[in-house]
Amino acid sequence: MPPQIRVLAIGLSLAFGFAPFTASAQKASNDDPIKVRTTLVTVPAVVSDRQDRHIAGLKAADFKLYEDGVEQPISFFENTEEPLNVAVLLDTSLSTFAVLEDIKKSAKDFIKELRPKDRAMVLSFDYGVHPLSSLTSDHKALESAIKSADIGRRAGTVLRDAVAEVVNREFKTVSGRKAIVVLTDGKDHGSRVAEDELLDAAAESGAMIYSVYYDTGLGRGAGRFGRGPWGRPRRAFPDSPADTAQGRGGRRRERMERKNEDAREFLGKLADVSAGHFYESEVTDLKKTFKLIAEELRHQYQLGFYPDNSKLDGKVHALRVQVLRPGVAVRARRSYTAVRAD
What is 152-172 written as a DSSP string? -SSS-B-HHHHHHHIIIIITT
Residue 192: exposure state from Cβ atoms within 10 A (0-12, 13-18, ≥19): exposed
The pLDDT assigned to 248 comes to 63
12 DSSP assignment: P
Say whether pLDDT at 225 is over 60. Answer: no
The pLDDT assigned to 309 comes to 77
Q: Look at phi and psi of residue 136 and say left if phi exceeds 0, alpha if psi is from -120 to 50, else beta.
A: beta
What is 211-275 written as a DSSP string?
Answer: EEE----TTTSHHHH-B-GGGPBPPP-PPPHHHHHSHHHHHHHHHHHHHHHHHHHHHHHHHHHTT
Closest by alpha carbon to 16, among 243, 231, 238, 180? 180
Indicate the fold that domain 84-298 takes in CATH.
Rossmann fold (3.40.50)
The pLDDT assigned to 237 comes to 36
For all residues of the chain together, what is the average pLDDT?
Answer: 81
Specify the range with the lowest mean pLDDT, choosing from 8-12, 86-90, 131-135. 8-12
Where are the domains positioned within the chain? Answer: 4-80+300-339, 84-298
The pLDDT assigned to 340 comes to 59
Residues 124-162 have pLDDT tens digits of: 999 999 999 999 999 999 999 999 999 999 999 999 999
In this prediction, residues 222-245 reach a mean pLDDT of: 40
